[in-house]
Structure 1
Amino acid sequence: MLLKDMIKNKLISNRNELYRRDLASKENQYANWYRPHKFELQKALDAKDHTQGAKLSTSVVRYSHLRNYILSGNDMPEIIIAVDDGGKLTEYAETMIRDFFAENPAVNFVYGDEDRIDEDGELRDPWFKPDWSPDTFLSTFYIGSIFAFRSSELALINPGDRTAVDIESRTRLEADTEEEVRAAKSDLDDSMKSWIYGVLCLKIAQADGGFSVRSHGKFPIGHIPEILCHAADKFDPWDSNLIRSSLTGRFSSDSASTRLISIIIPSKDNPKVLLECIKSIEKFTTSSPYEIIVVDNGSSDENRAEVQKILKVHGEKDIGGYEYIYEPMEFNFSKMCNLGASHANGELLLFFNDDITIGKPGWLSYLSEKAKLPYVGAVGMKLLYPNSDMIQHAGVVNVHAGPIHKLQYCSNKETHYFGYNKGVRNVIAVTGACLMVRADLFHRVGGFDEENFAVAFNDIDLCLKIYEQGYYNVVRNNMYLYHHESLSRGDDRKDKVKQQRLSGEQERLLAAHPALFARDPFYSEHLSQDPAVREFEIAVEDVELRNPHYVTPVLVAKPFPEKWTNPVLRLGVEFANSLDRWLTGPLTDAEGENSIRNGYYLKGYSFVINANQAVYDRFLLLKALDTSDQLWKLPVGSAYRPDIAENLTDQINDKLTGFQAIIKSDALPKGRYLIGMLVVDKTSRQRIINWSDVKLIVK
């Protein structure tokens, strides 16, 4: 017995060591992504003609020296590349910047993505930025550690080509020189940050149409979505207080007090919920004039009378007008909102769910001060789940599978991805649970689509139509409301009929706006496209999948013993479809069909309860459902899943619980296959099987 234990302990030790090596190779996901990505990028650059870009002269200037350099009176190159002190340009950065300006003669300012090099020389903390986002810029200096501009723009900053001697005293010049020395050793002081942010960058953006409706859909400020700078430290985005003196006052809450806001609330048979909503509006709305329009699609007589009473009491308080529209019909959120809008008197429309409550004053002014701006489209607000700090909505992003609420279920106490959940952000869409838009713009784009999006995705469709007209949608993550999500009509995902309708509406949404699912301009293509990933994580698997390693299914000769089936093996299948669908989205060819030319991709996670996960080899099982009782087995690769590990308490070596496998399109006969898993304990004779309810359909 002692010898057997010694052998088993040795086997376990060997498996633990293999796990540690595998984990070490996968834990720094960004470094694993960057190496192959850089190789592919360099190949593309080597094959490109750089003749026109090479004609442009450039100079690289540190942030601390930038003001003195511009005011020096010396001859300027055509392109000035500004880099934060301590930052290091990537070897391809200057080439890409010169090429960008050569290829985009109408653009005068561009910024790029960045990361940092830690003390061990490892690359970490990638910051993949959105395309030009004017309201994000006014909230925080998201330009970060690197930007470049044409020197011809300096006439905006320094009219008449005055030199530093002309406009500043010798004392100031000497102070600047000392400042440059200090900046090389420490952070820039606020005066230099304010000059870069509020004088240089803001003025160029204003002059170049950065705060206007986009012409022909093109962004006036450029963005190169590649790592152009390795910073010495993780950039802490500068606060907008640095540019308060540079703004015009158009963002003050006082400017909201002259515009009537129509708050349109669809509601049926929810008088108690509606009452709490209206009471919170009354309590926390002071400076903004408003009217409340309740659209009821068929409450019972009792509840109808209750709603009338609630609105009558509200009207007697003389704090805002009201209207009650009662029109029995099947639930059609789009039609109800459009009906409310047709009765509205306000310059601004706020579509508002009856299951939202407000917790702070000033909320309506926060919405209206953005919605009134001529270049802004739809405006939303961060929503939290009730009695918690858990995020329900902080802006919608489009991944290849469709729209998702990024950061949903994450804690609002934490600061996520360079302050995404704390400031004002431009996004592709906001939720219709709280959506403000100018009435004229709403009617110009046709309002909500009643025919195609009766229940779901109507808000996304509206926002996409607004974006396609050149406007910028905004989410105010510097204020929050509480949302009892789907309280008024239930959760569609828990009803099979509703789920089928939800799927159909999503397909129609993708068909109506295919370009925006190929790439969301406010969400980097280098970030995860997995709808299950709520945080901002690198799309490390996508680089690997573009050079797929195929595995071959093996036909199992005889059925496995029934006793092997055990629910202690937990299996979650998150994707089982064509590889092309994963990489490029649902619409992958001209006919809108899902291509299968590159095979099928299966991914998910699995673990054995109360066990050391390192001892198991894992195999996916595919059970034929249509033509035979055939069973196929294939090995899977492990994937780093800290999100799973943090929710497990009794497992050992649990950070590689993810799995993935790619099979060729002709690897299996056509038909449906139920997906399961077999795990084999390599330190004992234990075998465990369990099945999911997910099917792979082989065409």
Structure 2
Amino acid sequence: MPDDMPAGCWLRLRYRMALCRSAARPVIHFDIGSEEMQTAMGAALFGTGEWVGPVPGQPRHVRIVLPPGLPITGFSLTSCEALSFREVLTLAGRRSFWRAVAAGGLKLLGRTSDAIGLVEEVLNATPLSRYHEWRTGSERELDPGGVDAGDANEEEAPHIRAVVHVPGGDSRNLLSATLASLRRQSYRNWSLVLVGEAMAPAGERPWVCIGAAEDAERLWDGLEATDIVLPILAGDIVPEHAMAALASFAVSCPDASLFYADEDSIGAGERYFAPELKPDWSPILHSARAYVGRAVYFRRRILDGQGVISSADFMRPSTWDGLFLRARGPVGHLRRVLLTKAGEAQGGTNRVAVSSRVPEEGLHATATLIVPTRDRADLLAVCLASLEKTSPRDFELVIVDNGSEQPAALELLDRARERPGVRVLGAPGPFNFASLCNQGAALAQGRVLVFLNNDTETIRSDWLSRLVGWAVQPDVGAVGPKLTYGSGRVQHAGLVLGLGGYAAHIDVGAGATDEGYLGRLSVPHEVSAVTGACLVVEKCKFDAVGGFDESKYPIELGDVDLCLRLAQRGWKSVFTPDSVLIHRESATRGKAGNARRYAWERQNFMSDWKDLVADDPYFHPALSLAAPRTSLDR
């Protein structure tokens, strides 16, 4: 690192990371005296990475912290430059001229924070449509004597059985490409089985050909319980580090019998496309849309007792999906592209139909709706009127009034008091969203709590039952719906840890019919957090973690903190698009005037959750934390 970094400078870091490890983000720490600030870097998915970002203040010390489990030899800093804002604008202009011009204009207008944010997005986010350029620009050759040196003893690591399915017809060229990629593997403790037509692979190690109709148990005959079966279709390509990465990962996850990795496709002109950079194990997502794909791996012990099945049937991806759907133990996600499919249609495959299933248990559980409010009768009136359409109407409503003074608001609250099942709780004083919610929850008589902003509007009559059905599941904590702006564009579809530096909504502004990356906007799935604008949770779970933290997070980030504390107790957060509400974001109190308090709450958040901020399990570490729409990192 440079010894003398002037205030306001930027850093440009280039580095290499081990390919034979599951990808994760390094973190750069800045010691600026009384506090330490951190920023997550990219995961260098194909071996090389680059990070460009501002240096906060004038730090006394700068250091890079490697992901857990990555040895010091698995990371190499190849260059470090200190840049001025003008030099950074020049770099940004090469990627997006007009956005760089806009950033320069914001800087001249004194909107420095906005200018910095725009430049960071330009420099550290690449559209998914430019995946080929992104991949080829960051690839490097395997360096087994250096950063890619393996630490697994092949005699102690699992044996890997590559099982290649050869379909009928002229498959010789497809098979040749697959075998050539297997031949290049740096890991040597593996064997080969072909399923289908007997086509002798010239020059290969000993191999076995099994007929499509033969018993699938022959595919893993002779393997130990912890050995790995790697199914692959003729035509698929695996990189030379694939088996080494899989063996190392399997050793680190001895209790897991099911694994999956990331994948992409290659088409005309040898261009890569359709990257499937997957979240960590998400059974709700997989049950709705089979996202684990074709880069899957099984220990032999999980394959025993699967019943009589032919080899050809076992080699169907739908069979693999079923094994994951029935998973009862831990499932490992190796965050690395270890499979490239030949010429598949843009967008990849989803072999399980999109599901709008709502868990049956608790569909009609009694709920308490808690609506904090202050003045703005126009917003509250719309919210309350929309709630009248809810069916079934088996809920109570607690309106928490934070000292309304406007006559129209007071009149509306008086009318609300007269309605059955409605209570108005007076809670004057400084605005503290967490405290208002907790006061409402203390009065709640329902099994399920629904925290609802007064600037929301329900659309469908079944919005509540669809949320409650998820919230009462034993392993579910907080549940959030899809929130849209009045235009129908997405405002909330789950939050990503580390996005924007702390936590933020992903895919803001996506169209109403946009399915999202890997279909995330169209099916229920696990997320790290959901927004407090509409957050549903069982009262017993809410009480178990002590509710919202009023002292650390009176306004911002309290919803994220609540979700993370629920997760610590084993209750996951779920986003479901089957319930949709309109949200007029921050319409009641606005967005201005809270910068100082927000900075203090961000400091608390980083103190409490800094280790999670760099590694959201449901957001791949090769995806950008600098852009509001899903993009590639750098």
> Kindly, what percent of the aligned residue pairs are identical?
28
Partner of 1:501: 597
Separation (CA, whole Å) in 2 of partners of 1:70 and 1:276: 63
Q: 2:384 aligns with which of 275, 278, 287?
A: 278
Q: 2:151 aligns with which of 28, 35, 48?
A: 48
Separation (CA, whole Å) in 2 of partners of 1:222 and 1:63: 27
SS in 1 for 2:361: helix
Is residue 376–residue 474 contact of structure 1 (8 Å, CA) maintained in 2? yes
Partner of 2:162: 59
Separation (CA, whole Å) in 2 of partners of 1:280 and 1:436: 18
Q: 1:519 aligns with which of 582, 607, 615?
A: 615
1:231 Cα deviation after fit: 1.6
1:223 Cα deviation after fit: 0.4
1:427 Cα deviation after fit: 1.1
SS in 1 for 2:333: strand
Is residue 367–residue 379 contact of structure 1 (8 Å, CA) maintained in 2? yes
The worse-fitting range, judged by mean Cα deviation, of 406-415 and 274-283 is 406-415
Partner of 1:510: 606
Partner of 1:202: 325
Structure in which a larger fraction of residues adopt helix: 1
1:355 Cα deviation after fit: 0.8
After superposition, the Cα gap between the structure-2 partners of 1:353 and 1:39, relative to the gap in structure 1 and judged at 3 Å, is: farther
Partner of 2:76: none
SS in 2 for 1:534: coil
After superposition, the Cα gap between the structure-2 partners of 1:83 and 1:59, relative to the gap in structure 1 and judged at 3 Å, is: closer
Q: 1:429 aligns with which of 515, 529, 535?
A: 529
Partner of 2:338: 228
Q: Counterpart of 2:628 in structure 1: which amino acid?
A: R
1:519 Cα deviation after fit: 1.2
Is residue 293–residue 317 contact of structure 2 (8 Å, CA) maintained in 1? no
Q: 1:483 aligns with which of 583, 597, 612?
A: 583
After superposition, the Cα gap between the structure-2 partners of 1:370 and 1:225, relative to the gap in structure 1 and judged at 3 Å, is: same
Separation (CA, whole Å) in 2 of partners of 1:286 and 1:69: 54
Is residue 53–residue 101 contact of structure 1 (8 Å, CA) maintained in 2? no
Separation (CA, whole Å) in 1 of partners of 2:547 and 2:567: 13
Partner of 1:98: 247
- 5 Å-filtered alignment, 1:255-266, equals 255-266=361-372
After superposition, the Cα gap between the structure-2 partners of 1:59 and 1:350, relative to the gap in structure 1 and judged at 3 Å, is: same
Q: Which has more radius of gyration?
A: 1
Check if 1:369 corresponds to 2:469: yes
Separation (CA, whole Å) in 2 of partners of 1:431 and 1:31: 35
1:227 Cα deviation after fit: 0.5
Partner of 1:549: none
Is residue 480–residue 575 contact of structure 2 (8 Å, CA) maintained in 1? yes
- 5 Å-filtered alignment, 1:186-197, equals 194-197=318-321
Partner of 1:150: 299
After superposition, the Cα gap between the structure-2 partners of 1:522 and 1:40, relative to the gap in structure 1 and judged at 3 Å, is: farther
Q: Deviations over 1:549-583 (max 9, x none)?
A: xxxxxxxxxxxxxxxxxxxxxxxxxxxxxxxxxxx
5+ residue gaps, structure 2, are 1-92, 98-125, 168-194, 197-211
Check if 1:473 corresponds to 2:585: no
SS in 2 for 1:45: coil
- 5 Å-filtered alignment, 1:221-620, equals 221-232=331-342, 233=344, 234=346, 236-238=348-350, 240-241=352-353, 252=358, 254-283=360-389, 285-287=390-392, 289-300=394-405, 302-303=407-408, 305-312=410-417, 314-315=419-420, 321-386=421-486, 388-399=487-498, 401-491=501-591, 494-495=592-593, 498-530=594-626, 533-540=627-634
- 5 Å-filtered alignment, 1:649-664, equals none
- 5 Å-filtered alignment, 1:669-688, equals none
1:460 Cα deviation after fit: 1.1
Separation (CA, whole Å) in 2 of partners of 1:31 and 1:50: 36
1:38 Cα deviation after fit: 4.5
- Which fold has the larger relative contact order, with Cα–Cα distance below 8 Å and residues 6 or more apart in sequence? 2
Separation (CA, whole Å) in 2 of partners of 1:342 and 1:313: 21
1:485 Cα deviation after fit: 0.4
Is residue 115–residue 227 contact of structure 1 (8 Å, CA) maintained in 2? yes
Is residue 477–residue 573 contact of structure 2 (8 Å, CA) maintained in 1? yes
1:240 Cα deviation after fit: 4.3
1:372 Cα deviation after fit: 1.1
Partner of 2:34: none
The worse-fitting range, judged by mean Cα deviation, of 270-279 and 442-451 is 270-279
SS in 2 for 1:515: helix
After superposition, the Cα gap between the structure-2 partners of 1:455 and 1:54, relative to the gap in structure 1 and judged at 3 Å, is: closer
1:195 Cα deviation after fit: 3.9
After superposition, the Cα gap between the structure-2 partners of 1:163 and 1:412, relative to the gap in structure 1 and judged at 3 Å, is: closer
1:482 Cα deviation after fit: 0.6
Is residue 386–residue 458 contact of structure 2 (8 Å, CA) maintained in 1? yes
Partner of 1:71: 216
1:138 Cα deviation after fit: 1.9
Separation (CA, whole Å) in 2 of partners of 1:268 and 1:152: 60
Separation (CA, whole Å) in 1 of partners of 2:461 and 2:215: 44
Partner of 1:618: none
After superposition, the Cα gap between the structure-2 partners of 1:40 and 1:339, relative to the gap in structure 1 and judged at 3 Å, is: farther
SS in 1 for 2:483: strand
Q: Deviations over 1:85-143 (max 9, x none)?
A: 64322222222222222221111111111111121112223221111112211221110
Separation (CA, whole Å) in 1 of partners of 2:277 and 2:341: 13
Separation (CA, whole Å) in 2 of partners of 1:407 and 1:257: 29
Q: Counterpart of 2:474 in structure 1: which amino acid?
A: P
5+ residue gaps, structure 1, are 1-17, 165-172, 181-191, 209-219, 245-250, 316-320, 541-699
TM-score normalised by the chain length of structure 2: 0.67
After superposition, the Cα gap between the structure-2 partners of 1:310 and 1:163, relative to the gap in structure 1 and judged at 3 Å, is: same
1:235 Cα deviation after fit: 5.1
Partner of 2:73: none
1:416 Cα deviation after fit: 2.6
Q: Counterpart of 2:348 in structure 1: which amino acid?
A: D
After superposition, the Cα gap between the structure-2 partners of 1:282 and 1:223, relative to the gap in structure 1 and judged at 3 Å, is: same
SS in 2 for 1:60: strand
Partner of 1:633: none
After superposition, the Cα gap between the structure-2 partners of 1:41 and 1:31, relative to the gap in structure 1 and judged at 3 Å, is: farther
Separation (CA, whole Å) in 1 of partners of 2:249 and 2:214: 23
Is residue 161–residue 220 contact of structure 2 (8 Å, CA) maintained in 1? no
After superposition, the Cα gap between the structure-2 partners of 1:365 and 1:19, relative to the gap in structure 1 and judged at 3 Å, is: closer
Partner of 2:257: 108
1:521 Cα deviation after fit: 1.1
Partner of 2:32: none
1:226 Cα deviation after fit: 0.5
